[in-house]
């Protein structure tokens, strides 16, 4: 089997056998978005205005929650060292792990976002833009996050450190992702925002597995 697909399949299978970890991040996303109206008040106009930002920030944090586990288990039982030694290129295997992380952590957020958007009184077309923006943005979050996960692998206080390293790098995705929905609500064209998100995704898809691989090699030295 293709080593890339084999890695994806393995990681998804492992996660499916221990569903609670995946579900934790999803429930976190739901709870955080539901807290905001309770803190701010049930004013529909205000909620509609801040909905894109809230959903995106919550998606950012939910992605972050799953990142420390991306390499930790494989590092703990020595699988990661076997991957480094295997004849297939490490970058390919890492790309497979990142894709699996997105399927488990990012895709559920994309699918849930329209439902949560209803809580904030977003109309159907705005929900469509939100879903599309998250579909382009969440893989970007997984790709950038993987670099941070590799650099903080096995480091003291890795989880908090990971947030400190990765969150500033998430800012462009947040700006254009939430900006697309806001532009749509304001009646503007969203093509520019989505194109920029897609451009960043292409750039990250090319460079991030490479940087992650370098980070993993350093961690395993």
- Candidates 158, 159, 198, 205; binder of other proteins (CB under 8 A) is 158
Kindly tell me the sign of the dihedral angle through the C-alpha atoms of 111, 15, 3, 80: positive
What is the rounded distance in angstroms from the CA atom of residue 43 to the CA atom of residue 156?
Answer: 43
211 binds other proteins (CB under 8 A): yes
CB of 140 to other proteins, least distance (A): 11
**Is 27 near other proteins (CB under 8 A)?**
no
| Nearest C-alpha neighbor of 108 from the set 170, 32, 52, 28 | 28
Answer yes or no whether residue 200 interacts with other proteins by CB under 8 A.
Answer: yes
169 binds other proteins per the rule CB under 8 A: yes
Dump the DSSP string for 89-147.
-HHHHHHHHHHHHIIIIIHHHHHHHHHHHHHTT--HHHHHHHHHHHHHHHHHHHHHHHH
Q: Which is nearer to other proteins, 120 or 176 (CB)?
A: 176
Q: Which stretch binds other proteins (CB under 8 A): 42-50, 53-61, 108-116, 165-173?
A: 165-173
Can residue 183 be called a binding residue for other proteins (CB under 8 A)?
yes
- Nearest distance from C-beta of residue 125 to other proteins, angstroms: 19
Which one of 176, 181, 194, 201 is in contact with other proteins (CB under 8 A)? Answer: 176
Chain residues 132-151 in contact with other proteins, contact rule CB under 8 A: 147, 151
Question: Cα–Cα distance between 93 and 83 in angstroms, integer?
Answer: 7
Minimum gap (Å) between residue 21 Cβ and other proteins: 24
Q: How far is the CB of 115 from other proteins (least distance, A)?
A: 27
Residue 160's nearest CA partner among 68, 36, 35, 46 is 68
Whole-number Cα distances in Å, 122 to 11, 31, 44, 51, 62: 35, 18, 10, 8, 21
Residues that bind other proteins (CB under 8 A): 147, 151-152, 155-158, 161, 164-165, 167-169, 171-172, 175-176, 179, 183, 196, 200, 207, 211, 214-215, 218-219, 221
């Amino acid at each position: 089997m293709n080593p890339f697909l084999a890695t994806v399949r393995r990681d998804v299978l492992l996660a499916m056998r221990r569903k609670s970890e995946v579900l934790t991040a999803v429930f976190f996303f739901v709870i955080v978005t539901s807290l905001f109206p309770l803190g701010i008040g049930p004013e529909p106009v205000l909620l509609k205005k801040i909905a894109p930002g809230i959903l995106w920030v919550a998606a950012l944090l939910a992605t972050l929650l799953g990142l420390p586990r991306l390499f930790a288990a494989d590092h703990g039982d020595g699988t990661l060292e076997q991957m480094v030694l295997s004849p297939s290129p490490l970058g390919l295997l890492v790309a497979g792990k990142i894709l699996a992380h997105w399927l488990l952590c990012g895709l559920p957020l994309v699918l849930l976002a329209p439902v949560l958007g209803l809580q904030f009184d977003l109309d159907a077309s705005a929900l469509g833009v939100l879903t599309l923006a998250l579909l382009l943005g969440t893989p970007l979050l997984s790709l950038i996050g993987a670099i941070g996960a590799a650099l903080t692998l096995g480091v003291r206080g890795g989880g908090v450190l990971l947030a400190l390293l990765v969150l500033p790098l998430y800012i462009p995705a947040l700006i254009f992702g939430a900006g697309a929905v806001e532009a749509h609500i304001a009646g503007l064209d969203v093509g520019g925002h989505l194109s920029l998100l897609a451009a960043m995704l292409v750039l990250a898809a090319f460079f991030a597995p490479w940087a992650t691989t370098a980070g993993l090699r350093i961690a395993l030295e």
